Amino acid sequence: MRPKKIDIKYVLGFLGGFIFLLLFTLLSYWLGFGVIGEGKLSELVERAGVYGPLLIILMKSLTLVLAPLSGGPIYILTALLYGFFGAFLITFIGDLFGSTICFLIARKLGRKVALRLTGKRSLRIIDKLYHYLGEWRGFLVVSFLPVQDLASYAAGFTRMSYREFITVILITRIIINTFYVSLAFFPKQSILIKVAYLFLILVYSVFVAFWWSRFSGKREGSITKLTLGSS
């Protein structure tokens, strides 16, 4: 079977998403440090106390459970408030927590509950992902695509163990969260680093488009009979 060609519309689509995120970053950086000021941001963080990170963890988790909500802006805003390392830790915990919930919902509660939380369109994508995953290697590839929320649901429908699941999540989120959180500091980077970022975004968009072209061509199937604990 000949591999599918990369559909240029997918490349442009994912590039458009990153361009939007970069524009959001520039606007947030300008508002945070140019209009509001670093001092007031620090005061806001101090007032929020421990509830600030907890609220962000909850919000980040919900963007995964209630697919397909976008969590991209949360990485940027959290980095502006808590710095790189603080934002990485907060969003990392939120992603681990949210991914685990998605996995357990699919594993324990089944397809009907997943449908209510994700919608029919997202469930069709989950069906395609399910037929691709099979084992942790497939999940590793899919976890680098911008559908990790849906992939976590799909993994819950397979026979993949939770240990395999969370190991892949840990590995991929370290890489992905590092990149997204670092985008918050894009405006103050040197020209060379900015060009490097844009090059990485282009390469990643082509990578995503390649795999997404493969998924889009797969026949939709039903996972009802194959789910563990389906309802």
Q: What is the 3-state secondary structure (H, E, C) of 147-180?
A: CHHHHHHHHHHCCCCHHHHHHHHHHHHHHHHHHH
What is the tens place of the pLDDT at every residue in 77-99? 899 889 999 999 999 999 999 99
Q: Using one digit for the tens of pLDDT, what is the confidence trace for 175-187? A: 999 988 998 888 8
Q: What's the CA gap between 105 and 126, in Å, rounded?
A: 13
Determine the Cα–Cα distance for residues 107 and 154; give it in Å rounded to an integer.
Answer: 9
Q: Is the pLDDT of residue 228 over 50?
A: no
pLDDT band at 218 (very low <50, low <70, confident <90, very high): low
What percent of the chain has a predicted confidence (pLDDT) above 70? 81
| Cis amide prior to 68 (ω within 30 degrees) | yes
Answer yes or no: are the C-beta atoms of 154 and 133 closer than 8 Å: yes
Q: How confident is the model at residue 9 (pLDDT cuts 50, 70, 90)?
A: low
51-87 confidence digits (pLDDT tens): 899 999 999 999 999 877 778 888 988 998 899 999 9
pTM of the predicted model, to two decimals?
0.80
DSSP reduced 3-state for 43: helix
- What tokens does 174 get? 């370290």
Q: Are 99 and 64 in contact (CB under 8 A)?
A: yes
The whole-chain average pLDDT of the chain stands at 80
What whole-number distance in Å separates Cα of residue 116 and Cα of residue 126?
A: 13
